[in-house]
């Protein structure tokens, strides 16, 4: 009996130490993965952007598998989105319809966007429960200053609008599916560029998950590739963090396996 009590006392003392050691190991592994991702994601994004410049993609989403990890890659040329500062009212309206708003809401939001960005807006004044900036949009987040509260069925603003497209047109080959569907309507055809002309700006999204898990490391990096071909793209905006797979809005279909050069680069992570 005394021996059994002694064993139980030893176990009670050792178990917390084992739990602490395991926690430290897991924490160390997480930190190593985090540092590696933060270090390599910017350069990997640059290489992906260089590889996709002036190229028509079968799908903007690619899915890579590397050991026990799954990675998603998304490349969005900014000429495939609507320029918040340069688009006419009709093109803005088409963009808000692509987001999921009905025609009357989209028209109202188009007027709000113009009222917000222009120093002296001469068109119809919208009902304004916001303070217009009266200057160009500097960041896509500013669109939230006048959007209605609550989700919309069509998707987020960053799948439709950009501050880096400085034309009143959209490249059909570079547009995301929901926006492309809207712009292919006859009344919007005037805004489409049929070729695959690339912008100097592209957003590269990377996400790394352990197989079977829904949370992992993510980066969104906006790149300026305005240098000569072969030069290293410059990072304009960078956001690196930890998030859920649902946040990426990866379509149930439409992803393709990573191309061989990309798969080799993923091995660095």
Distances 109 to 29, 89, 128 between C-alpha atoms, Å = 47, 10, 10
pLDDT computed for residue 54 by the predictor: 63
For 56-65, 145-154, 198-207, 260-269, which range has the lowest pLDDT when averaged over its residues?
260-269
Tens-place pLDDT, residues 17-46: 344 444 555 467 778 888 888 888 998 888
Instruction: Give the confidence band of 269 by pLDDT, cuts at 50, 70, 90.
Output: low
Determine the angle formed by the axes of helices 89-99 and 103-117, rounding to 10 degrees: 130
| H or E element that contains 263 | helix 260-266
For 31-35, 52-56, 178-182, which range has the lowest pLDDT when averaged over its residues?
52-56
**Two tokens, residue 110:** 């188009």
Q: What percent of the chain has pLDDT over 90?
A: 31
| Residue 200, phi-psi category: left (phi > 0), alpha (psi -120 to 50), beta (remainder) | alpha
Query: Which pairing describes strands 256-257 and 61-66: parallel, antiparallel, or unpaired?
Result: parallel
Distances 41 to 18, 45, 178, 242 between C-alpha atoms, Å = 34, 6, 28, 13
Phi, psi of 64 (to 5 degrees): -115, 145
Instruction: Give the confidence band of 235 by pLDDT, cuts at 50, 70, 90.
Output: very high
Q: What percent of the chain has pLDDT over 70?
A: 76
Whole-structure pTM value: 0.80
**Two tokens, residue 185:** 């309507």
Tens-place pLDDT, residues 118-144: 887 766 666 667 778 889 999 999 998
Instruction: Give the confidence band of 3 by pLDDT, cuts at 50, 70, 90.
Output: very low
């Amino acid at each position: 009996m005394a021996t059994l009590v002694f064993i139980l006392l030893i176990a009670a003392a050792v178990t917390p130490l084992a739990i602490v050691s395991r926690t430290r190991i897991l924490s160390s592994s997480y930190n190593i993965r985090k540092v590696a991702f933060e270090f390599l994601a910017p350069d990997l994004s640059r290489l992906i952007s260089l590889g996709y410049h002036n190229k028509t993609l079968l799908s903007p989403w690619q899915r890579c598998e590397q050991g026990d990890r799954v990675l998603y890659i998304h490349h969005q040329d900014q000429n495939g989105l609507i320029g918040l500062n340069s688009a006419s009212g009709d093109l803005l309206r088409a963009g808000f319809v692509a987001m999921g708003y009905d025609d009357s809401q989209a028209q109202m939001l188009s007027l709000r966007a113009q009222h917000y960005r222009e120093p002296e807006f001469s068109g119809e004044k919208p009902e304004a429960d916001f303070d217009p900036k009266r200057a160009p949009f500097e960041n896509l987040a500013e669109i939230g200053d006048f959007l209605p509260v609550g989700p919309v069925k069509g998707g987020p603003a960053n799948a439709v609008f950009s501050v880096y497209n400085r034309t009143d047109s959209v490249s059909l080959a570079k547009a995301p599916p929901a926006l492309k569907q809207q712009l292919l309507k006859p009344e919007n055809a005037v805004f489409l560029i049929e070729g695959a002309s690339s912008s100097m700006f592209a957003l590269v999204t990377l996400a790394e998950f352990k197989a079977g898990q829904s949370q992992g490391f993510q980066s969104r990096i906006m790149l300026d590739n305005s240098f000569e071909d072969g030069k290293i793209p410059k990072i304009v905006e960078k956001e690196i963090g930890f998030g859920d797979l649902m946040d990426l809005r990866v379509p149930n279909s439409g992803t393709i396996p990573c191309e061989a050069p990309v798969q080799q680069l993923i091995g660095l992570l």
